[in-house]
Chains A and B, each alone.
Chain A
Amino acid sequence: MDIMPGIMRWIHLLAGITWVGLLYYFNLVQMAALKDAAADGTAAGITKHVAPRALFWFRWSAVVTWVAGAGLLGAGFTDAFLLRNGYEGIGIGAWLGTIMLINVWVLIWPNQQKILGLVPADDAAKAGARRVAMLASRTNMMLSIPMLFFMANGLSHRAVLGL
């Protein structure tokens, strides 16, 4: 169907904006806000009411972004992940996005569950989880910079990459 790539690209962008927008919210706003809020005893407002909702949209928009991206690649999926046949640029973007998705579900979400008290954890475990979640989130923010460059230029503006 001719309309499917357009629909997939639309969903990919909608979900991707939700995902990366929340990633930037966590890194640019919430981390610093939580430090200040903990100092004046108001952190519970964020950890109870804001963070769980933000994390829900964050982790599921990550899944939708990846699935729609895979659909958009279609027959080029294998070429993209094997970095060949003109799909080298978008393939690097796809690999970075995949690493980011794995980070969300394997490192960020399980550790955030401990931090927010959604699963039982003692203070030492919470402190460790806070460090791992912070570094995983910062890693994703770092990876998002080249990921967006290669997503923006990988298929539709290949001349930028000499493809």
Chain B
Amino acid sequence: MKNPLESVAGTIISGLILTFVLVFFLKNFLVAGV
């Protein structure tokens, strides 16, 4: 599989996916645990 960071489009899509993953992590594991 090609490294997504080889292209600008792959980099932006990776950044968007990472954003959703981190929001999910925050809402379900950080805030929910308080």
Contact = CB atoms under 8 A, between A and B. Distances in A.
Interface of A: 27-28, 83-84, 88-89, 92, 135, 138-139, 141-146, 149-150, 161-163
Given A27-B8, A88-B31, A141 B26 contact: no
Given A145-B19, A161-B23, A88 B8 contact: no
A142 B5 contact: yes
Interface residues of B, number: 18
A142 B3 CA distance: 13
B31 A163 contact: yes
Nearest to A91: B30
Given A143-B18, A145-B16, A162-B31, A138 B26 contact: no
B11 A149 contact: no
Interface in B8-28: 8, 11-12, 14-16, 18-19, 22-23, 26-27
B30 A83 contact: yes
8 contacts: A141-B8, A142-B5, A142-B12, A145-B15, A149-B19, A161-B27, A161-B31, A162-B27
B22 to A, nearest CB: 5
Contact of B22 (A84, A92, A142, A163): A92
A135 B5 contact: yes
